[in-house]
Structure 1
Amino acid sequence: MTAKPRAITLAWQEAWKQFREVFPYLLAGVLIGSLIYGFVPTEWIAKHAGGDNVFAIPLSAIVGIPLYIRAEAVIPLASALVAKGMGTGAVMALIIGSAGASLTEVILLKSMFRTPMISKRKGSAVLTVI
C-alpha cells in the first residue's frame, strides 16, 4: 500500500473512532432536548427564563454550573430551549456556565491548580456569564 492510500485509511479510522466516542453524547443531547421540548411547558420556561425576566441570565448561569453540557449536546438542547421560549441570553448563560464553571471542570482543574486559582477562574467565568 502506498503512502497516500494508507494516510486516507488512517484518517478514516481516526474519524470513525472519534465519531463513536462523540455519538453517545450527541444522542444524549438530542434526547434531553426532545424531553424538554415535549414535556416542559412553554409557559414555565417563558416565565422563568424568558426575555422579560431580569433574573433569567443569572439564574441560567447558576443552573448551568453543576451541569456538564458537552459541545455535541449544546445545539439540540439550545434549540429546544429557545423553541420553548427561553431567551437567547439565558441560553448562552446556561451554556457558558456549564462549560466554563462546571463541577466536572473543577475536578479536572483541582489536579493541576490550587484552590485559590480555581476559585478565581470559576468566579471570573460566572461574572463573565452574568
Structure 2
Amino acid sequence: MIAKTMVAALFAAAVVLPAAEALACGKHAKPAAATTVAQAAQGNRVELSVTEEGFGPTPVKVKKGEPVTLVITRKTDKTCAKEIMIPAYDIEKELPLNQPVEVTFTPTKSGEVKYGCGMGQMIAGVLVVE
C-alpha cells in the first residue's frame, strides 16, 4: 500500500504538477509538434485568439511578399500574453481583453516568424512564410 502511494505521489510531482503549472501560466502543456499548420484565410487575414492555452492557431502559413493582417483577440485575463510582439518586424501592440486588434505587415523572408507575449515570448506562436 505504501509503495502505491509513493508511486502516485511521484507521478503527481513529475507529470501532473508541471502540466498544471504550465497551463496556469498560459503555456501549452502538449508538444507543439502535435499541431497542424493552419492556412491564412480571407485574403491573408489571420484570426488568432489568446486563451489560457496561449496563442492559436499556430503555426499558420502565410505568403512571402504579400501583406498579412493578424486579428488577435485576447479571450482571458489568465495569461501573461497581454500584448503581442513580433521582433523580426519591430511590432509591439497591446491586446485589450475581448477586443480584436489588427496587426498588418508584409513578410519579406521565407521561413518561420515567431511572435509572442512581452515576457520574452514565453507564450508564443509561429507564422510559416512560404
Tell me the TM-score normalised to structure 1 length.
0.30
- The structure whose residues are more often strand, as a share, is 2
- The structure whose residues are more often helix, as a share, is 1
Larger-Rg structure: 1
Tell me the TM-score normalised to structure 2 length.
0.30
Higher relative contact order (CA 8 A, sep 6+): 1
